């Protein structure tokens, strides 16, 4: 069977081409592509739930086989797989060491671990009003229980956020800044994250960056990645661009917050979201009066980890690494340009925010309904309200499995639905 590495290598080193992808990469996705065909659907919701490789099923089955055959002997292979997962994500986002990546089952779980590590009982959080619902809801719930005070940074009239507005909201009273690298509703990339990080640190605040729409989309690890950018904490997950399905997420931590094993120094960042895997010498069963944490990122582990997590994420991460995020990004931008032109030539004006992530927008006052009608007509998209509150957008995200012919066909179908009746 062709390996992911061999398939990617067979395309050669240059820019990705549709021919190369169809010949070498599409066969790795026979099941997902058969599904699209059976549903008679052009799948453009790749920004929502990425299409899985065939190998994902084999990897998960392999993890289960270990259980059946080796029973508790499976643990060491399962833990090796977890180490491999942490190393892959660290390389993807530019963290200096594998243990700086802490497996989580949701990005929101990673965020809560940080909230619950801050020294203040009710930290002051500066967050944009464009954070994903999971984060937004968590903050509102903490605020309701008086476990946080939140300053919300609003978008402008067009729904765009500006780094300067976030910087201006940060004061000496701020404990934590929560900001998305790319805003989920619009794909807008917050360009000057460096300025936000600098402002947070100038006021002794920490920053959490939500990279769900940039990890695997932008070549984050170039030029030192998240460590070089100085981002204290980042959250992300694999069910979109890295094709790992729900449940395989992570929190990553800057190496300046990683400590030697032992009792956490008073006032330092250590989290209440903990469990026996965060203990120094987990299997020694010691119970010192002062809890002793494991070294580095392991201090942020919790209870017994979900052992399928690294297996469901492995093939997708392997593919992204084998092809290279830079090449994927360049190809996606070309596909977006093709789709935008296909829409424009049929009288639909897409909204192209610069810079943006992997998807483009078509504004529509009832975008949810439009997306439902598109689905019925054979184009799978989704829709989100604009952060301005004034309109909504259908989100369309091509990926390496979409052909140019599909993009034209999707534009044609959309034009048919939008045409005046
Ligand atoms: C920006 C962003 N953050 C987080 C998530 C997912 O959050 P959680 O893993 O807490 O469900 C999503 C899902 O679409 C997202 O778009």
Q: Residue 181: CB within 6 Å of ligand 1?
A: no
pLDDT, average across residues 321-332: 98
Query: What does the pLDDT look like over 77-133, one tens digit per residue?
Result: 999 999 999 999 999 999 989 999 999 999 999 999 999 999 999 999 999 999 999
Å from CA of 50 to ligand 1 middle:
13
Average pLDDT of the chain to the nearest whole number: 97
State which ligand 1 atom lies nearest to the alpha carbon of 111: 10
Q: Residue 210: CB within 6 Å of ligand 1?
A: yes
Å from CA of 345 to ligand 1 middle:
34
Residue 166 pLDDT level (bands cut at 50, 70, 90): very high
State which ligand 1 atom lies nearest to the alpha carbon of 135: 10
Residue 420 pLDDT level (bands cut at 50, 70, 90): low
Q: Residue 132: CB within 6 Å of ligand 1?
A: yes
> According to the model, what pLDDT value does residue 421 have?
53
pLDDT, average across residues 247-273: 94
Does domain 4-52+324-418 bear CATH number 3.40.50.300? no
> According to the model, what pLDDT value does residue 112 have?
98
> According to the model, what pLDDT value does residue 250 have?
98
> According to the model, what pLDDT value does residue 223 have?
79
| 3-state DSSP of the chain | CCCHHHHHHHCCCCCCCHHHHHHHHHHHHHHHHHHHHHHCCEECECCCCCCCCHHHHHHHHHHHHHHHHHHHHHHHHHHHHHHHHHHHHHHHHCCCCHHHEEEECCHHHHHHHHHCCCCCCCCEEEEECCCCHHHHHHHHHHHHCCCCEEEEECCCCCCCCCHHHHHHHCCCCCCEEEEECECCCCCEECCCHHHHHHHHHHCCCEEEEECCCCECCECCCHHHHHHHHCCCEEEEECCCCCCCCCCCEEEEECHHHCCCCEECCCCCCCCCCCCHHHECCHHHCCCCCCCEECCHHHHHCCCCCCCCHHHHHHHHHHHHHHHCHHHHHHHHHHHHHHHHHHHHCCCCCCECCCCECCCEEEECCCHHHHHHHHHHCCEECEEEECCCCCCEEEEEECCCCCCHHHHHHHHHHHHHHHCCC
Nearest CA to ligand 1 atom 16: 184
Å from CA of 407 to ligand 1 middle:
26
Å from CA of 63 to ligand 1 middle:
26
> According to the model, what pLDDT value does residue 108 have?
98
Å from CA of 132 to ligand 1 middle:
6
Pocket test for ligand 1, best of 45, 46, 105, 134 (most atoms within 8 A of CB): 134
Q: Which of 96-100, 153-157, 186-190, 417-421 has the lowest mean pLDDT?
A: 417-421
Q: Residue 254: CB within 6 Å of ligand 1?
A: no
Query: What does the pLDDT look like over 8-53, one tens digit per residue?
Result: 999 999 999 999 999 999 999 999 999 999 999 999 999 999 999 9
Q: Is 291 a residue whose pLDDT tops 80? A: yes
**Domain ranges within the chain, ordered by starting residue:** 4-52+324-418, 65-317
Residue 294 pLDDT level (bands cut at 50, 70, 90): very high
Query: What does the pLDDT look like over 201-233, one tens digit per residue?
Result: 999 999 999 999 999 999 999 878 999 999 999
Indicate the CATH number of 65-317 among 3.40.50.1580, 3.50.80.10, 3.40.710.10, 3.40.640.10: 3.40.640.10
> According to the model, what pLDDT value does residue 1 have?
78
Q: Which of 67-71, 125-129, 266-270, 417-421 has the lowest mean pLDDT?
A: 417-421
Nearest CA to ligand 1 atom 14: 48
> According to the model, what pLDDT value does residue 267 have?
79
> According to the model, what pLDDT value does residue 419 have?
72
Å from CA of 24 to ligand 1 middle:
31
pTM: 0.98
Nearest CA to ligand 1 atom 10: 108
Q: Residue 249: CB within 6 Å of ligand 1?
A: yes
Q: Is 172 a residue whose pLDDT tops 60? A: yes
Pocket test for ligand 1, best of 104, 106, 107, 273 (most atoms within 8 A of CB): 107
Q: Residue 134: CB within 6 Å of ligand 1?
A: yes
pLDDT, average across residues 349-373: 97
Q: Residue 107: CB within 6 Å of ligand 1?
A: yes
């Amino acid at each position: 069977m062709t390996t992911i590495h061999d398939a990617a290598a067979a395309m050669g080193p240059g820019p990705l081409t549709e021919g190369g992808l169809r010949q070498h990469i599409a066969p790795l996705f026979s099941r997902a592509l058969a599904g699209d065909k059976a549903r008679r659907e052009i799948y453009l919701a790749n920004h929502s739930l990425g299409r899985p490789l065939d190998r994902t099923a084999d990897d998960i089955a392999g993890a289960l086989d270990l259980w059946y055959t080796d029973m508790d002997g499976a643990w060491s292979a399962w833990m090796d797989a977890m180490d491999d997962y942490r190393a892959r994500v660290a390389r993807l986002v530019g963290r200096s060491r594998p243990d700086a990546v802490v497996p989580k089952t949701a990005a929101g779980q990673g965020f809560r671990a940080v909230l619950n590590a801050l020294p203040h009982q009710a930290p002051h959080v500066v967050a944009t009003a464009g954070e994903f619902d999971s984060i937004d809801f968590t903050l509102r719930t903490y605020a309701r229980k008086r476990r946080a005070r939140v300053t919300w940074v609003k978008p402008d009239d067009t729904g765009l956020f500006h780094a300067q507005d976030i910087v201006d909201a940060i004061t000496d009273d701020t404990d934590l800044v929560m900001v998305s690298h790319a805003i989920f509703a619009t794909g807008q990339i917050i360009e000057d994250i460096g300025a936000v990080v600098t402002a947070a640190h100038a006021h002794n605040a920490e920053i959490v960056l939500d990279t769900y729409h940039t990890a695997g989309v932008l070549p984050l690890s170039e030029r030192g990645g998240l460590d070089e950018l100085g981002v204290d904490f980042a959250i992300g997950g694999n069910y979109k661009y890295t094709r790992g399905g729900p449940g395989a997420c992570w929190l990553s931590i800057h190496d300046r917050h990683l400590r030697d094993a032992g009792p956490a120094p008073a006032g330092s960042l250590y989290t209440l979201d903990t469990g026996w895997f965060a203990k120094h010498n987990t299997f020694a069963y010691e119970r010192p009066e002062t809890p002793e944490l494991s070294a580095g990122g392991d201090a942020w582990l919790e209870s017994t980890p979900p052992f399928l997590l690294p297996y469901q994420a492995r093939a997708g991460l392997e593919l992204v690494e084998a092809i290279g995020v830079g090449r994927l990004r360049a190809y996606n931008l070309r596909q977006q340009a093709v789709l935008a032109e296909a829409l424009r030539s049929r009288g639909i004006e897409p909204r192209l925010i610069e810079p943006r992530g992997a998807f483009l927008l078509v504004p529509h006052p009832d975008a949810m309904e439009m997306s439902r009608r598109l689905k019925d007509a054979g184009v799978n998209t989704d829709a989100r309200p604009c952060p301005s509150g004034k309109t909504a957008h259908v989100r369309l995200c091509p990926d390496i499995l979409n052909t140019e012919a599909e993009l034209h066909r999707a534009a044609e179908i959309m034009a048919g639905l939008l045409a005046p009746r």
